[in-house]
Chains A and B, each alone.
Chain A
Amino acid sequence: MPAKATRAAFGEALLDLGSRDERIVTLDADLSKSTMTAAFARKFPERAFNLGIAESNMIGVGAGLALTGKIPFACSFACFVVGRFETIRISVAYTNANVKIVGTHAGIAIGEDGYSQMGLEDVAALRALPNVLIVQPADELETKQAVAWAVAHQGPVYLRLTRQALEPVSAPDYRFEIGRWATLKPGTDVTLVASGGTVFNALEAARKLEADGISAEVINAASLKPLDEDTLVRSAGRTRHVVTVEDHSIAGGLGGAVAESLADVLPTPVKRLGVTGFGESGEPRALYAKHGLDPAGITASVRKFLGR
C-alpha cells in the first residue's frame, strides 16, 4: 500500500460503509473538502449536512440526529471541533449520544497554516470525559477498520486523523481492536509508544537504535482511550524505560495517559516526546525536526534518556 493520509482513508471508508448503511450521515463546518467527506456528500447529498462555520451547532445537531437513530460523523479540524468542549461534554458525552466526532489536521504536521489550525490539546481535553472513546489510526488499513468499528460501536467516539500521508505500518493481517495495541517491533531496552503520525518515525528511530546496539520495542497506540494497559505494563516491565511519541502536547495526551497508567500500576521512568507550545508555520518535516519528532530527534532523545 502506498502512503495515504488517514483523513483520505476515512473519506473512502465513509463512502464504502455509507453506501451499505443508511443510518450513516455526515456533518461538516465548511471543511468538507478538507475532512474529505466531500465524496460521500456528492454521492449521498440527502445524508450530508454542512452547517457552515458553526461547530457547536454542528455537534449539537449531530447529537440530535443520533438520538433519532442516525450514525452521525461530525467532522472538522481537531482544534475547532474539540474546541467546542462544553457542547461535546453535555450534548454528546453526558447524553451518551452515538456521535462519531472526527478531528482532522492533527498536530504540527499540518505545516504552513500554523498554530491556529493545529490540533495539539484535543486528546488531553477529551480523555477527561467519560463515554468518549478515542482512536488515532496510524495508516490506511487501520483507519478503515477503525471507521468500521466506530460505526458498530454504540456510543461516542473521537477519531483523530492526519492531513499528511502516512506510510503503512500495520501487518496485512492486522485487525484493529479497541483497547488493544499492536507491537510493531519487539525489543528489550526501551519501549517506544507512538500514535498516528509519529508511529512510522518511531519505527525508523528503532532501526537506527538497533544499529547502535539499543533494542527498542515499538508499539502503535491507536486506541488512546481506553489504553491497552496489559501490553503497556508487560512491555514496561521488561524494558523499564518508556518513551512516548505523539504529535500533540506532551501534557495530557498519550504521554499523560501512559504516565498515569504506569504510576498507578507499575511506576516506570517515562519520557514524553511531543509538542511544547502552540506550534508555528513551517514545512512539516522541518517542524518535526525542530520538535524532535523526526527519527533523528527521537533517536537522540532515547539515547539521552537511557544515558547511552
Chain B
Amino acid sequence: MSDRKLDAIARACRVQIIRMLTHAGSGHPGGSLSVIDLLVAIAFGRLRHDPRRPDWPDRDRIVLSKGHAVPALYTVMARAGYFPEEQLVTLRKLGSPLQGHPDRVALPGIEAATGSLGQGLSLACGMALGLRMAGSPARVYCILGDGEVQEGQVWEAAMAAPKLGQPEHALDNLTVIVDYNKIQLDDFVARILDLEPLVAKWQGFGWPVLEIDGHDLPQIDKALDQAEATRGRPSLIVAHTVKGKGVSFMENNPEWHGKSPKPAEAVAAIREILGVSEAAWDGYLATDRTTHALVDELRALDKK
C-alpha cells in the first residue's frame, strides 16, 4: 500500500481515536496518537492476517504491550474489518468487547491481555518461540511504551530473547518497537526515571537497534524491512514519537496521558487532524457529510 494511502488511514484512525475516547469519557489519547502511525504501517503495510480467521495459526501477531493505547489498535482492527466501525463508540462501556485494555477473550483478534505494563515482551517471546518451533513463517510485532521499559520484567525478556531458541529457533521472527514519546503518566520520562542511554542499553543486551522517527512512514517501513532481514536474533526499533501527535494542545503534554477530551475539545482536535483551519472549518463541514455527522454526534454528548 502506498504511503499516501497509509497516511490517509492513519488520519482517519486519529479521528476515530478522538471520537471513541470522547464517547468513553476516559482513556489514553496521548499514547494512542503517538503509536498509531507505527500500528498503521504494520497492520496495513505488511501484516499477514485474516479478520475473518482471527485464529489462523500462521497469522502475524501484534502484541500491544503498552496496552493503554488500545484505542489505536481498535481503530486499526475496525478499519481492517474485525468488527464494525460503529462499535468503536462502545469503548469501556459495560459488556463491550472493546475493554479499556486489550482483552483477547472478549475480542477475537487481540493477541494478548496487556495493560499491566511489562508483560508483553515475555509473551511475544513465547509466541515467537512457539511459532519457530512449529515451523511457521509468522512474525510477531511487540510494541512497548517508554515508561513501560522501566519495568523489570521487560529486561528479563530483553536478556533472554537474543538467546532463546538458539540456533535453530532463534527469535528473528520478532520485531520489538519502543514508542519513545518521552512522556509517562506523572511527568516527562527524563524527570521520573530517565532511560538514557536507551539504545546503548538494548545493544548491551545483544539487540540490533534501529532509531527512527516514529511518524515517518518511509522510515518505519525501511526499519521493519531491516528487522525482517536480520537473521539469528530479534531486532529493536526505537521510534521517536510525539505524545498526542496530530493535536496541537495534546502534543508533548503530560496532561493528555490519560484524560479524554470533552466534546468541544474533540471537535477542535478532529479539525486539526484533518488539517483544516478554524476559518475554513464551517465551509469544510458543509462539504464533508461524514465529518459533519461526527461533529454533531460529539456535540450531542455535551447535552447528555
Binding site for B on A (CB under 8 A): 46, 49, 51-52, 54, 56-57, 59-70, 72, 86-87, 89-91, 94-96
Other A-B pairs beyond A60-B126, A62-B126, 13, CB < 8 Å: A57-B156, A61-B125, A61-B164, A65-B127, A67-B111, A67-B126, A67-B127, A68-B57, A68-B130, A69-B57, A90-B114, A90-B119, A94-B103
Q: Can you list 16 A-B contacts with CB-CB less than 8 angstroms, sorted by A residue number? A: A46-B168, A54-B159, A60-B123, A61-B126, A62-B126, A64-B123, A64-B130, A65-B129, A67-B126, A68-B134, A69-B134, A70-B130, A86-B119, A87-B153, A95-B112, A96-B105
* Inter-chain contacts of A51 with B (CB < 8 A): 156, 160
In the complex the two chains form, what is the Cα distance from A59 to B105 in whole Å? 19
In the complex the two chains form, what is the Cα distance from A64 to B114 in whole Å? 12
* Inter-chain contacts of A56 with B (CB < 8 A): 118-119, 122, 152-153, 156
Q: List residues of B (40-73) whose CB comes within 8 Å of A's CBs.
A: 57
A63/B105 in contact, CB under 8 A: no
Tell me how far the C-beta of B168 lies from the nearest C-beta in chain A, rounded to whole angstroms: 7
Residue of A nearest to B105 (CB): A96
Residue of B nearest to A27 (CB): B126
Does B13 count as interface, using CB distance less than 8 angstroms? Answer: no
Interface of A: prevailing SS: helix
* Inter-chain contacts of B168 with A (CB < 8 A): 46
B116/A90 in contact, CB under 8 A: yes
Residue of A nearest to B116 (CB): A90
* Inter-chain contacts of A94 with B (CB < 8 A): 103, 105, 113
In the complex the two chains form, what is the Cα distance from A87 to B123 in whole Å? 10
Q: Which of B104, B127, B156, B169 contacts A64 (CB 8 A)?
A: B127
Does B185 count as interface, using CB distance less than 8 angstroms? Answer: no
Binding site for A on B (CB under 8 A): 57, 103-105, 111-116, 118-119, 121-131, 133-134, 136, 152-153, 156-157, 159-160, 164, 168-169
In the complex the two chains form, what is the Cα distance from A49 to B136 in whole Å? 19
Tell me how far the C-beta of A81 lies from the nearest C-beta in chain B, rounded to whole angstroms: 14
B57/A61 in contact, CB under 8 A: no
B160/A57 in contact, CB under 8 A: yes
Tell me how far the C-beta of B220 lies from the nearest C-beta in chain A, rounded to whole angstroms: 25
A59/B122 in contact, CB under 8 A: yes
A64/B124 in contact, CB under 8 A: yes
* Inter-chain contacts of B125 with A (CB < 8 A): 57, 60-61, 64
> A66 with B113: in contact, given A56-B153, A57-B160, A96-B105 (CB under 8 Å)?
no
* Inter-chain contacts of A96 with B (CB < 8 A): 105
A52/B160 in contact, CB under 8 A: yes
In the complex the two chains form, what is the Cα distance from A86 to B130 in whole Å? 23
* Inter-chain contacts of B123 with A (CB < 8 A): 60-61, 63-64, 67, 91
In the complex the two chains form, what is the Cα distance from A293 to B122 in whole Å? 40
Tell me how far the C-beta of B15 lies from the nearest C-beta in chain A, rounded to whole angstroms: 31
Tell me how far the C-beta of A257 lies from the nearest C-beta in chain B, rounded to whole angstroms: 26
In the complex the two chains form, what is the Cα distance from A283 to B193 in whole Å? 46
B123, B124, B129, B134: most-surrounded residue (chain A CB, <10 A): B123
In the complex the two chains form, what is the Cα distance from A57 to B168 in whole Å? 21
B111/A63 in contact, CB under 8 A: no
B122/A63 in contact, CB under 8 A: yes
In the complex the two chains form, what is the Cα distance from A54 to B112 in whole Å? 21
* Inter-chain contacts of A90 with B (CB < 8 A): 113-116, 119
> A61 with B129: in contact, given A54-B160, A91-B123 (CB under 8 Å)?
yes
* Inter-chain contacts of B57 with A (CB < 8 A): 68-69
In the complex the two chains form, what is the Cα distance from A57 to B122 in whole Å? 5
Tell me how far the C-beta of B43 lies from the nearest C-beta in chain A, rounded to whole angstroms: 19
Residue of B nearest to A94 (CB): B113
Residue of A nearest to B114 (CB): A90
* Inter-chain contacts of B105 with A (CB < 8 A): 94-96
> A54 with B156: in contact, given A67-B123, A68-B130 (CB under 8 Å)?
yes
Tell me how far the C-beta of A24 lies from the nearest C-beta in chain B, rounded to whole angstroms: 12
> A68 with B127: in contact, given A61-B164, A91-B119 (CB under 8 Å)?
yes
Residue of A nearest to B130 (CB): A68
